[in-house]
Amino acid sequence: MRINKTEIMKKLQDLINKTKCSVSIDINNHRDYYETIEQHIESDDRQDISNDVWVKMIELDTCVRLQVYPNTPIGFYVIHHYDLEMAIDIALSED
């Protein structure tokens, strides 16, 4: 599978433009702590991850964490995924 970097960067720029405050991306942060994905992601955060995405994250040992402050520096939401472009697509679909 070939990744279209130009398309991902365009989507990321669209997300940045849509967001009044910050956008943060962490990829495979669990590895910095010598942890598995299961050890690294708190059980409260797992509630927002669909089972199929969770299984794929573990299978690939890949964790994309996208944190978006859409309107104020106080309110934010987090998307966990195994695919950066899919995570950005989800964030772009949020209101």
Q: Over the stretch 79-94, which tens digit does the pLDDT of each residue have? A: 999 999 999 999 999 8
Please state, in angstroms and as integers, the Cα–Cα distance from residue 28 to each residue in 17, 21, 36, 41, 92, following that order: 25, 23, 10, 11, 22
Burial label, 47 (beta-carbon count in 10 A; 0-12, 13-18, 19+): exposed
Q: What's the mean pLDDT in 35-58?
A: 96
- Predicted TM-score (pTM) of the model is 0.91
